[in-house]
Chains A and B, each alone.
Chain A
Amino acid sequence: MSMLLVQALNGLQFGVLLFLVAAGLSLVFGVMDLINLAHGVQYMLGAYVAATLGVWTGSFWLGALLALPVALLVGLALEWLVFRHLYRRDHLAQVLATFGVILTVEEATRALWGSAPQTVLEPSGLTGGPMGGVEIVPGLLYPTYRLVIIGIGIVVPLLLWFLVERTRAGMLVRAGATHPAMVSALGVDIRRLFTVVFAFGAMLAGFAGALASPIFPVAPGMGDTVLILCFVVIVIGGVGSIRGAFIAALLVGLLDSIGRAMLPDLLRLLLDPSAARQTGAALASMLVYIVMATILFFRPAGLFPGGRAA
């Protein structure tokens, strides 16, 4: 039972990270109709920059904070160099050009940091000793840092919701998503709006990467895994819907974590141990996709269809 609780918390924390990446992806798609495969690259860069700056400054949190402007700048640079020229092109061209960006940036990462994973220690004060964990049920410690991530993951979506639903900038973003030509005709510089939204999404992904750096191996391919799961999140949640993305991200995170922990054990009731381990591992990594296929079969537009009118 306590095992299930720990896995559920791990799943929540993974889901929250997925949301931070998927939110940017969904916003960029919703507002600009741009499918950006290179969004995972921002997540990866966030992790690398946080790792390096964390060592330089001697503080994990300082490194993670400094990763934000770096991710923002890289996002702006990429938007200026590549993505800006893709808004009017079809999705196919967007997929391919952003695929080229992934190859380039991942190779640059390999050249700069090497192929071996970087190790990042969980921030001091939150790790080791009695400070290392919080007793969630009697006799069970759960790492404080992971709880902090869950906390951040609850605060950021609320801020995002406020920003999109209750501010003037958010109103423009929503209007730009459904009626870009009309917004432009009303005198809003839609180009600048695009750039701002893009940079903001890049920053969120970079932040997620920085938060994830002590938990997951920081390696060149880390962005791809997250990116593909984020696509699953967006497809399940409904393209362009922030609320859908949040619920789907938690669902995917929970399914993935609990599936990986429980399926091999469950199958052991039916099969012999080695077969159970093999089938269980395969089923667990497929679980998310099976759920996605099932949801799509009944609701092709996702759980919360929204976004573009055109």
Chain B
Amino acid sequence: MTAPFRKTFRKHGLALVTLLALAAAPFFGFGDGFALSLLARAMILGMAAVSLSLLVGGAGLVSLGHAATMGIGAYAVVAFDAAGVSEGLIVFPAAIAAAAVYALVTGAVSLRTSGVHFIMITLAFGQMAFFTTSSFSSLGGDDGYTLYARTEWLGSRIMDSRLTFHFLCLGLLALVWVGGTLLLGSRFGRVLRAARENPQRALAVGFQPYPYRLVAYVMAGAVGGLAGALLANATEFVSPALLSWTRSGELLFMVILGGVGQLGGAILGALAIVLLEETLSHLLVYWRLVFGPLLVLSVLFLPDGLVGAPLRLRAAFRFASPKRRSADA
């Protein structure tokens, strides 16, 4: 392997392997309806988690209200459905735009603050969106809305095939991941990261962080809207629970469990959380009694997330082995 390739692989290998495994999964025992819908959910939440990771890892903005953008995307789909419109070329852009506008308005206020204030305000705005959706009595209010037909594309019902839907989600997930990674590497991303590391220095060099952060916030919101529109199609049911603050907490967890440093970690984190939840809830009635402590333990003992775990293990091993240490010295 050539050196630059090796470097790229070390950085993004885990995410690449995960995506390849997801591509192969339907042909190796995960092709039944249940497994496919589970994987679709994981990939869609992974998309939202990648967009949140862009904010948390890239810009240092810990949003505890990201589920709202997803919920708005999902509610856009059912609102069009209730109005008799199910054409994807109308529904999807509208869902994305709605979430982006929400992110623009709430971001404009939230980004005036930072740190803990920012966490609390995004949480409050998320709650506001939650209460708004539960008051839509024409869309089922608290009870939610059942989507009887998935979104069509130019009149054809291609999303009805679970396998097509699987690869659609996978393709979009890969697109979001690659796009986000390129964005973070670009000049724009560098300004974001500089403002995260040291806002004062970024300002001194002549970059006002606010507009950059707002653009990133809106972009993440748009991706959240896309994920929400897909999720409405995947589950064919939308309720305010989609916007609950625990959902935002879960998304944040996916980001952290995967590892904040890399966007790909969020994909891994989403997969891990969805599969863990599914397994535990099948085994136990009060499964959160195991899930909750696991989350706490992962925060306490895996500060770099799953992506960082191999490196951490290697570092520990290197430290433990005196031979290697003297060779390094």
Q: Which residues of B contact A111 (CB under 8 A)?
A: 285-286, 289
Nearest B-chain residue to A101, judged by Cβ: B296
Q: Quick check: B109 and A293 within 8 Å, CB to CB?
A: yes
Q: Are B300 and A97 in contact (CB under 8 A)?
A: yes
Q: State in angstroms the CA–CA spacing of A224 and B115 once bound together.
A: 21
- The answer to whether A282 has its CB under 8 Å from any CB of chain B is yes
A300–B210 Cα distance when bound, in Å, is 14
Determine whether the beta carbon of B128 is less than 8 Å from that of A286. yes
Contact present for B299 and A97 (CB under 8 Å): yes
The answer to whether A234 has its CB under 8 Å from any CB of chain B is yes
A290 to B125, CA, bound (A): 9
Number of A interface residues in the complex (CB < 8 A): 46
- Please, which residues of chain B bring their CB within 8 A of the CB of A91? 62, 115-116, 119
B245 and A228 form a contact (CB under 8 A): yes
Query: Which of A103, A105, A231, A234 is in CB contact (< 8 Å) with B295?
Result: A103
From A37, A105, A285, A300, give the contact of B135 (CB < 8 A).
Answer: A285
Tell me, yes or no, whether A92 is within 8 Å of chain B by CB: yes
Q: Is the CB of B125 within 8 A of A95?
A: no
Instruction: Indicate whether A136 reaches chain B with its CB closer than 8 angstroms.
Output: no
A228 pairs with B123, CB closer than 8 A: yes
A95 neighbours in B (Cβ, 8 Å): 62, 64, 119, 249, 252
Kindly provide the distance from the CB of B315 to the nearest chain A CB, expressed in whole angstroms: 19
Whether B296 and A35, one on each chain, are in contact in the complex, defined by CB atoms closer than 8 angstroms, is no
Determine which of B246, B253, B288 lies in contact with A104 in the assembled complex, contact meaning CB atoms within 8 Å.
B288
Closest residue of A by beta carbon distance from B117: A235
Indicate which residue in B131, B292, B293, B303 contacts A93 across the interface (CB closer than 8 Å).
Answer: B303
Identify B288's interface contact among A107, A279, A300, CB under 8 A.
A107
- A99 interface contact, C-beta 8 A: yes
Is B124 in the interface zone, CB < 8 Å from A?
A: yes
B150 to chain A, nearest CB (A): 28
A282 to B142, CA, bound (A): 12
Do residues B117 and A104 form an inter-chain contact, with CB atoms below 8 A? Answer: no
Q: How far is the CA of A289 from the CA of B125 in the complex (A)?
A: 7
Q: Residue A249 at the B interface, CB < 8 A?
A: no
Residues of chain B in range 113-168 having any CB-CB distance to chain A below 8 Å: 113, 115-117, 119-121, 123-125, 127-128, 131-132, 135-137
Residue of B nearest to A85 (CB): B300
Chain B residues, CB < 8 A from A231: 120, 123-124
The 9 tightest CB contacts between A and B, nearest first, are A104-B292, A100-B295, A282-B135, A107-B288, A103-B292, A285-B131, A100-B296, A289-B128, A231-B120
List 10 interface pairs A-B (beta carbons < 8 Å), by A numbering.
A89-B303, A91-B62, A92-B252, A103-B246, A106-B288, A107-B286, A107-B289, A111-B286, A289-B127, A293-B125
6 additional contacts (CB under 8 A) given A92-B56, A103-B288, A279-B135: A35-B119, A100-B295, A104-B292, A104-B293, A228-B123, A231-B120
